[in-house]
Structure 1
Amino acid sequence: MTMKTNKAPSRLERFRDSFVWYSFKRDRTAQLCLAVFLCLVMAAFAAPLLAPTDPYDLRQIDIMASELPPFWIDGADEQYSLGTDAQGRDLWSIILYGTRVSLLIGFGAVILQALLGVTFGLMAGYLGGRVDAFLMRLADIQLSFSTLMVAIVVGAVVKATLGGAFYSQYAVLMLVLIIGLAEWPQYARTVRASVLAEKGKEYVDAARVMGLRSKRIMFRHVLPNTLSPIFVISTVQIANAIISEAALSFLGLGMPETHPSLGSLIKAGFDYIQSGSWWITLIPGAVLVVLVLSINLLGDWLRDVMNPRLYKG
């Protein structure tokens, strides 16, 4: 006689039965935004395969082909579908490479924000007392400094001590550090509020009675129950980090023109709008708007799904 055993559902099966997947299937806006975002990400990281030229290779740049218009305007060159910039670089190629740089900075900055903010938020909410007071006052001080101010200070110190060439060479790393250090309080405050709601529950008391250390309780028991707001704020912060990078690059505190991001591309073409070469700025600007808008709309959907009282699907 054989006994039947109930096989536990896999993670994929549990996800298919979840409310998140159910709401995603019914939300056309979320589906479209995710498709657009994934297309942009895949195109950016496949830039060496999709780009007709390498904008970092000076041998492939023809200065005589500068400021050529896109294919739908008279005077265009079929070799350059979206035209060229003031240096003669293929605009389609530098947009692909520039989008990759913006995404790397955005994701890198958010990872740093999350590492700092989640750790400090857990400590402040769970330990309380002087630790909470110190970390939250530190967050208040940090919030009083804008990302631009932090960029100016860090940029000035690095350029004065190590030189401008060092800053340009490691511009991606510098921007990740600047944006990450400037924005971590957003995570810390959100996680602290969630921890304060969780630490008084029975499972935390049971873990304390079992003699588990505070570090284990915070990271193995409390943290998994605070992931929902972390996921929501991460989508918003990725968009904010990309916008911050674009703003800093536009002000000359970001990526150099030799290794452009979307922000530095917009800045590079801004001076040529008056002369009629509007595509150098507007096309990268449109890509930036579409990228940030898709991330923000996904964040709005995720926020509503994670809070069923707000969900209207």
Structure 2
Amino acid sequence: MSMMADHQGNSLFARIMNSNMAYSFKRNPVAIVSMAIFLIITLAAVFAPLIAPTDPYDPSLYDILDSELPPAWTNQGDPKFLFGTDDQGRDLWSAILYGTRTSLIIGICAVFVQAFLGISIGLISGYVGGRIDNILMRFADIQLSFSTLMVAIIFLAVSQALFGSETFNKYALFMLVGVIGIAEWPQYARTVRATVLAEKKKEYVDSARVLGFSSIRIMVRHILPNSLSPIFVISTVQVANAIISEASLSFLGLGMPVSQPSLGSLISSGFDYIFSGSWWITTIPGVVLVVLVLVINLLGDWMRDVLNPKLYKG
């Protein structure tokens, strides 16, 4: 039994390595470097509790007398603090590790919310058609007329006023995931709907209807798999957009609190000190954010080219 499982695993791995995507990846230096950087950042964030010298969530572990110490490589730096400290005396290297993990969690979870809503609405809209299609797509058009940040700012500002800062900070991560996810679902819905409109006229869908399969089974088991390529591309780009949205909202004071660092809240907390000489508090988290978003977008561009037969040239 185990030998059969091993053989199937090896066969699956061989198919993946011999696929067009793997072939293109091995021949694309930009994709290789971007993936390597993304994996390094992600693994560092995932294993932050093991890598970070201190826990930035525990105020008892940092001293206000150590505040605004420059990075270790500068003349006045302390070897204990690789990237220096912030205005609270918190180790910036530890805060960035934990903050990157928070930003990635928000970005990935928000995209799952977007994908679930958008794919569900897109499948129903394209397959059922008629009045339901018109209603759902007009709703999507209305949603697209408002920017993500505008919707998020209004919702989060009202929530903060209603529930108070303490309650808001406690559930800030869940609120950010929800509002960013709900604000961006039309991107998925329009793409999936277009695919469904093309696929539902094909013979395999007619055959499934003749065999008596339910509409839900036809949509999920037969039509949806043919929409996965554009979904993967959109998801890659949307993760980067969600991370930027979180950083923007945190910078405006409507995202993660300073006590629960994200890349956006770290940039925000150090912005007041950048002109006083403590440039590292804002600059280093900002560089990490830019690099993270850049490599995700580069991977998204590569994936788009590979999965689009009109663009892919081998």
Measured against the shorter chain, the TM-score band is over 0.9
Contact 2:72 2:84 in 1 (8 A): yes
Aligned residue for 1:26?
27
Q: Which digits, 9 at most, give the CA deviation of each residue in 1:252-279, with x for residues without a partner?
A: 1111000010011111111111101101
Aligned residue for 2:301?
300
| In 2, Cα distance between equivalents of 1:237 and 1:148 | 14
Name the aligned partner's letter for residue 180 of structure 1: G
Q: Which digits, 9 at most, give the CA deviation of each residue in 1:21-78, with x for residues without a partner?
A: 1111111111111111011111001111000011111111110011111122111111
Aligned residue for 2:4?
none
| In 2, Cα distance between equivalents of 1:267 and 1:164 | 17
Aligned residue for 1:245?
246
Percent identity of the aligned residues? 66
Scaled by the length of structure 1, what TM-score is found?
Answer: 0.95
Aligned residue for 2:121?
120
Q: Which digits, 9 at most, give the CA deviation of each residue in 1:248-305, with x for residues without a partner?
A: 1111111100001001111111111110110101100000011000100000000000
Aligned residue for 2:266?
265
- 1:189-268 alignment runs, 5 A limit: 189-268=190-269
Aligned residue for 1:309?
310
| In 2, Cα distance between equivalents of 1:163 and 1:76 | 39
CA RMSD of aligned residues (A): 1.4
Instruction: Tell me the SS of whatever aligns to 2:109.
Output: helix
Aligned residue for 2:103?
102
Aligned residue for 1:129?
130
After TM superposition, where is structure 1 displaced by more than 4 Å over at least 4 residues in a row? none
| In 1, Cα distance between equivalents of 2:18 and 2:80 | 49
- After TM superposition, the structure 1 stretch with the greater mean CA deviation from structure 2, 209-218 or 155-164, is 155-164
Q: C-alpha displacement at 1:247, in angstroms?
A: 0.6
Aligned residue for 2:282?
281
Name the aligned partner's letter for residue 285 of structure 2: P
| In 2, Cα distance between equivalents of 1:191 and 1:130 | 18
- After TM superposition, the structure 1 stretch with the greater mean CA deviation from structure 2, 98-107 or 13-22, is 13-22
Aligned residue for 2:68?
67
| In 2, Cα distance between equivalents of 1:45 and 1:15 | 26
Name the aligned partner's letter for residue 293 of structure 2: V
Q: Which digits, 9 at most, give the CA deviation of each residue in 1:186-218, with x for residues without a partner?
A: 110111111111111110111111111111100
Contact 2:157 2:254 in 1 (8 A): no
Contact 2:153 2:249 in 1 (8 A): no
- After TM superposition, the structure 1 stretch with the greater mean CA deviation from structure 2, 70-79 or 11-20, is 11-20
Instruction: Tell me the SS of whatever aligns to 1:218.
Output: helix
| In 1, Cα distance between equivalents of 2:154 and 2:99 | 25
Q: Which digits, 9 at most, give the CA deviation of each residue in 1:125-144, with x for residues without a partner?
A: 11111111111111111112
Aligned residue for 1:171?
172
Instruction: Tell me the SS of whatever aligns to 1:53.
Output: coil
| In 2, Cα distance between equivalents of 1:61 and 1:291 | 27
- After TM superposition, the structure 1 stretch with the greater mean CA deviation from structure 2, 65-74 or 280-289, is 65-74
Aligned residue for 1:4?
none
Q: C-alpha displacement at 1:16, in angstroms?
A: 1.9
Aligned residue for 2:3?
none
Name the aligned partner's letter for residue 50 of structure 2: L
| In 2, Cα distance between equivalents of 1:283 and 1:91 | 9
- After TM superposition, the structure 1 stretch with the greater mean CA deviation from structure 2, 166-175 or 14-23, is 14-23
| In 1, Cα distance between equivalents of 2:254 and 2:143 | 20
- After TM superposition, the structure 1 stretch with the greater mean CA deviation from structure 2, 149-158 or 180-189, is 149-158
| In 1, Cα distance between equivalents of 2:312 and 2:203 | 28
Q: C-alpha displacement at 1:312, in angstroms?
A: 4.5
- Structure 1 spans left out of the alignment, 5+ residues: 1-6
